[in-house]
């Protein structure tokens, strides 16, 4: 063996990459936007010392909320059941409507370019309006009551589930779809056999997620007259009965916690 052959060949060290300006420019842009939003001259006048000083003003109210008046509990049972019923009905209707809309709003399953842009445009309009504004519109349209709350939540669910599900459809494996087309399946059968089984776990997970959101959102929209426990909560806050407000808060926490546990178990069975 020669000395040249015994000597290991050293590869040239790769050139050190040039430092990127993306990170410092991003940080600078973030700081500039933060200053613009918080400054007193151009923004909202964000004052951290004033906020910290005002925190102690609500100590009395928080203390009353932390001492719930449990004698008020029986009066909240029926409104809480109404809130739960609103959430269930809105979830069923909204999620069922969102399924076909998500197929139209996905590039993979859309019937055509025009249908895709129309579907995406409708979803963007629906998602642009908050659930509270929907509640105000439907309260004015169909009067005060749970029907207005259900309609508001249906639109809220449609926007959330259809958006998430359409993006899930965009990422499916297209092999089963090609196999279905090769077997002579039409568009509807291709979606049912090649796409729907892949997105079913996500669809159930999204539906359970919006059901949890509905319980919380129905409380908020009830404040503007859309039925449910929100009406009770709004009335007690107007009368400064914060001990009764504490009862409603505890009930909502327990209800959402139980729904979350059930959702976790159902999602585990689907994985």
Residue 270's pLDDT is 67
**Sign of the C-alpha dihedral computed for residues 173, 177, 180 and 181 taken in this order:** negative
**Cβ-based neighbour number of residue 7 at 10 Å:** 8
Residue-level pLDDT at 62: 84
Q: Which two tokens stand for residue 68?
A: 């719930």
| Residues ≥6 apart with Cβ < 8 Å to 107 | 116, 170
Rg (CA), the chain: 27
Residue 243 is predicted with a pLDDT of 92
Position 65 scores a pLDDT of 87
Alpha helices in 66-130 (DSSP H): 74-104, 113-128
Quick: pLDDT tens for 162-174: 989 998 888 888 8
63-92 per-position pLDDT tens digit: 888 899 899 999 889 988 988 888 899 999
**What pLDDT shows up at residue 9?**
56
Residue pair 214/91 in contact by the 8 Å Cβ criterion? yes
Domain spans in the chain, listed from the N-terminal domain onward: 76-270
The domain defined by 76-270 carries CATH number 1.10.3720.10: yes
Mean pLDDT by 10 residues, the chain (271 residues): 55 70 86 84 74 74 87 89 89 91 88 87 87 86 84 89 89 83 82 86 87 83 77 85 90 87 78 60
> Could you give the CA distance from residue 215 to residue 21 in angstroms, rounded to a whole number?
45
Report which of 234, 232, 229, 271 is spatially closest to residue 252, judged by C-alpha positions.
Answer: 229
User: Tell me, what's the pLDDT at 97?
Assistant: 92
152 CB-contact burial (10 Å; exposed 0-12 / middle 13-18 / buried 19+): buried
Closest CA relative to residue 224, chosen from 131, 91, 104, 98 = 131
Reported for 150-154, long-range contacts at CB under 8 A and 24+ positions apart, including other chains, are: 150/86, 150/89, 150/90, 150/93, 152/221, 152/226, 153/86, 153/87, 153/90, 153/91, 153/94, 153/214, 153/217, 153/218, 153/221, 154/90, 154/93, 154/94, 154/97
Q: Find the DSSP H helices in 105-225.
A: 113-128, 131-142, 146-170, 175-182, 187-190, 196-221
- Do 244 and 69 meet the contact criterion of CB atoms below 8 Å apart? yes
């Amino acid at each position: 063996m020669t000395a040249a052959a015994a000597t290991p060949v050293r590869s040239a060290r790769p050139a050190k990459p040039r430092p990127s300006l993306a990170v410092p420019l991003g940080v600078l842009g973030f700081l500039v936007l933060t200053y613009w939003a918080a400054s007193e001259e151009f923004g909202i006048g964000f004052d951290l010392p004033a906020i910290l000083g005002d925190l102690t003003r609500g100590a009395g109210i928080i203390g009353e909320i932390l001492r719930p008046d449990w004698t008020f509990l029986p009066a909240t049972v029926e409104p809480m059941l109404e809130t739960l019923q609103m959430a269930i009905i809105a979830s069923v209707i909204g999620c069922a409507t969102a399924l076909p809309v998500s197929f139209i709003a996905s590039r993979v399953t859309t019937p055509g370019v025009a249908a895709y842009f129309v579907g995406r445009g409708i979803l963007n309009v629906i998602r642009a309006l908050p659930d509270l504004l929907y509640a105000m519109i439907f309260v004015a349209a169909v009067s005060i009551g749970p029907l207005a709350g259900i309609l508001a939540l249906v639109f809220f669910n449609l926007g959330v589930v259809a958006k998430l599900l359409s993006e899930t459809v965009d990422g499916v494996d297209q092999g089963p779809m090609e196999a279905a087309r090769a077997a002579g399946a039409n568009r509807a059968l291709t979606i049912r056999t090649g796409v729907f089984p892949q997105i079913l776990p996500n669809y159930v997970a999204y539906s359970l997620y919006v059901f949890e959101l509905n319980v919380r959102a129905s409380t908020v929209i009830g404040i503007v007259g859309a039925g449910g426990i929100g009406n009770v909560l709004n009335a007690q806050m107007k009368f400064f009965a914060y001990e009764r407000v504490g009862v409603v808060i505890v009930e909502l926490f327990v209800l959402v916690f139980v729904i979350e546990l059930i959702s976790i178990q159902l999602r585990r069975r689907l994985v």
